[in-house]
Amino acid sequence: MSASLIFLNSDSRVLEQIRKGNEQALVTLFEKNRTPVTAFVVRNSGTRDDAEDLLQEAVIVLWERVRSGQFHYSSALSTFIFATARNKWLRLLARKRKELPMVHNGNEIASGDASSLEIVIEEEETIKMRMALDKLGDPCRTILLLYYYDECSMQEIAQRMGFANADSVKSKKYRCKKALERAFKLGRE
């Protein structure tokens, strides 16, 4: 099954609305993607307001790419929006980390509260995980994002990605997860 036939349901309708300039598609995309983007941003040192801003930017990026003909439909729109929001958030965290004035005083960090070191370490781990995920490529990257971030069932992933059944996805997800763990471990060394 070709990639363009995988998501003929709501994604194709939303894309058609965007091509026609129907701004209701923006609202649809925003509402559909609010929960996973908010969960990711809040888990990674952000606020709900940060998540709303990022989601709005990600939806606009999709809108502009579709309207200009630069969008290549290869995965679910929710995957594109989540990845765009995630990448923007990780870049913002990296920028903030570079701007964070830290003075090492023995084993202490004198730049603020006691959790500053924990936040920096968690942000570094998140960036390393993103890099490992990016190294995997597709279909592993898409399967893991759909499963862990979009919280899709194995059956939903099978339907979206054209797998024969949920068991095929489960087996592939297991291999992809192991590959991600190896890539992440290599990135930590």
The radius of gyration computed from the CA coordinates of the chain, to the nearest angstrom, equals: 19
132 pLDDT exceeds 70? yes
9 pLDDT exceeds 70? no
Contacts of 4 (CB under 8 A, 6+ apart): 73
Long-range contacts of 122-128 (CB under 8 A, 24+ apart): 122/44, 122/45, 123/44, 123/45, 123/93, 123/94, 123/97, 124/97, 126/44, 126/90, 126/93, 127/90, 127/93, 127/94, 128/184, 128/187, 128/188
110 pLDDT exceeds 60? no
Closest CA to 77 of 142, 162, 139, 164: 142
64 pLDDT exceeds 80? yes
pLDDT the model gives residue 6: 43
Domains of the chain, CATH where assigned: 1-99 (1.10.1740.10), 108-189 (1.10.10.10)
Rounded Cα–Cα distance for residues 14 and 170 (Å): 29
Mean pLDDT of 15-24: 89
Mean pLDDT of 35-52: 90
Inter-axis angle of helices 10-19 and 77-99, nearest 10: 70
Mean pLDDT of 41-59: 90
- 105 SS3 class: strand
Mean pLDDT of 154-163: 89
pLDDT band at 180 (very low <50, low <70, confident <90, very high): confident
pLDDT band at 4 (very low <50, low <70, confident <90, very high): very low
pLDDT the model gives residue 120: 65
Closest CA to 75 of 164, 162, 179, 166: 162
105 pLDDT exceeds 70? no
Mean pLDDT of 100-123: 51
Of 1-15, 47-61, 101-115, where does mean pLDDT reach its minimum?
A: 101-115
Query: pTM, whole model, 2 decimals?
Result: 0.50
